[in-house]
Amino acid sequence: QYSNNEITTSSQVTGGGSYQNGLSSIDPNDIATFNVLKSAAAAALYGSRARNGVIVITTKSGAGRSKQGKKLSVNVGTATYFENIANLPDYQNTYGAGSNFNYSNSNGSWGPRFDSMETIPTWQPLLAAFPDLFGPTVPYVAKPNNVKDLFKTGTVTDNTLGLSYSGEDGNFNMTISDMKQDGYIPFNTFDRTSVSVGGNFKLPNGLTVGGNMSYSKTQQVGGFFGENQFDGSSSSFARALFLARNWDLNLPYVNPVTGASVTPLEGQFDHPLWSWEHDKITTDTHRTVIGLNASYNLNENISASYRIGMNRYNLERKEIRDLDSRAEGGLGSITSDNFTNEDIESTFLINFDYKLSDDFGFQGILGNNIIQNENSRIAYYGKELVLPNIFTMGNTKNISNLLDEKARKRNVGVFADVTFSFKEFLFLNATARNDFSSSLPKDNNSYFYPSVSGSFIITEALKLDSKVLNFAKLRAAYAKVGNDAPAEFINVTFDQGNAYNNTPTIRNNS
């Protein structure tokens, strides 16, 4: 199971952003199969986590490669991709900065037509920062690509080394990969390095044992996103898509004395390129997955299997608002956020597969599942950077603790899954599961949820052989899914808060 939560630390409206989820740490080169189990019926096997369906990702093991006994193979791959921004607004280039068809150095393009005047006064912020580059006036002309030129052609380079073995006695696979992405937004990068090994081997006594281990680390560097830069926020796209059509952002934008951003309109926004370089979010993740499994065929109809595994995920995020940024009044700040999630899971299954007659078949599963989850999160906020270019919490004047929380819970489930089939075109399935959760009250910590489904394959039943219709199926299902609560909600208390407009309020006091 990959925890796929997005962890955010600031408003996505005024300058935050959700960066990465758990799936970003999976190496696509190591995926063998990718299956989607729809609907709540999947919850019988996977528990409450699967109440909306399940995505099952199986990594490579090296199986199925040998037709002549043993085979060892080595695969080396490299690929380079190029990317550009997909779409931009269809800009007009008839009117420039101003309002009511009169010129003024303001954001937006509601001013006079470009063919109505030849020059305008040089933008004061640029004239003050670069007096040797400008005279008193500049041409009043459209810059059709002033937004497009902010972006560049990005590159993605992916290198992979794979080693696999397959034989009658078992199989083995190892994959090492490294991916580097230099995005089409300047100063935005994403790097991922991963190593995985896994295999299964059949012992002389008939017992099949296997295991897998994978480790991946990623680093993402990107800017803040949001709709504005008011209230000290730091959105790099605050005005980037709505620049006056006569502004030339290919001009110098870093003050040679102070290092601050320089734009035609001072005080409203930072230059997007300066913002992408100085106001940024760095996100580092580390994921370790370890699993062991064993299976044994008791006879031709009954088999048993057991697997246990650990999945640990750590995310470290740092939000940097640099000195001289419009955000934080130019004082600078750092937000650090450290989130760790660890799952330990054990699953025992007994599988039944019987051919009751020439027409009828039966398949069944009896199982037990135990999963323990622990997670912790701690976040700090430091305001006012003391020295430039040192982005540590110790280089801030005021530090406050935003979050410090830990949680642990355990869920034990027992379940059954039975399927009856008739002539491979009529199927009836029923599941049942009962869970016991540590996040529910001790005297009421058990909940039960069943499902039933049926399917009829029309083309198989009627033996249709048509070029127009090659497969048709009718399916009906009913499912009930139970769920527990987050670990920290077992002892939630409330009290009466301050009234608002004479309306009583209730406040969480946990």
Q: How confident is the model at residue 276 (pLDDT cuts 50, 70, 90)?
A: very high
Global pTM? 0.81
Q: Which pLDDT value is given to residue 41?
A: 60
- Inside any domain, residue 446: yes
Indicate the average pLDDT of the chain: 87
Query: Is pLDDT at 3 greater than 70 in this prediction?
Result: no
- Inside any domain, residue 195: no
- Inside any domain, residue 496: yes
Q: How many residues does the chain have?
A: 510
- Inside any domain, residue 223: yes
Query: Is pLDDT at 2 greater than 50 in this prediction?
Result: no
The candidate with the shortest Cα–Cα distance to 485, out of 413, 421, 411, is 411
Query: Is pLDDT at 21 greater than 80 in this prediction?
Result: no
Contact 276, 321 (CB under 8 A): no
The candidate with the shortest Cα–Cα distance to 98, out of 78, 118, 83, 114, is 114
Query: Is pLDDT at 495 greater than 60 in this prediction?
Result: yes
Q: Which pLDDT value is given to residue 44?
A: 65
Counted domains in the chain:
1
- Inside any domain, residue 213: yes
Contact 112, 100 (CB under 8 A): no
Q: What are residue 414's phi and psi, to 5 degrees?
A: -125, 140
In this predicted model, what pLDDT tens digit does every residue of 405-454 receive, in sequence order? 999 999 999 999 999 999 989 999 999 999 999 999 889 999 999 989 99
- For residue 494, the enclosing domain spans 22-63+207-229+279-508
The candidate with the shortest Cα–Cα distance to 174, out of 1, 30, 23, is 30
Which residue type is seen at 267?
A: G
- Inside any domain, residue 348: yes
- Inside any domain, residue 73: no
Q: Which pLDDT value is given to residue 70?
A: 63
Q: What's the mean pLDDT in 176-191?
A: 96
| Three-point CA angle 504, 507, 508, nearest 5° | 160
The candidate with the shortest Cα–Cα distance to 327, out of 10, 92, 96, is 10
Query: Is pLDDT at 15 greater than 60 in this prediction?
Result: no
- Inside any domain, residue 262: no
Q: What's the mean pLDDT in 455-475?
A: 86
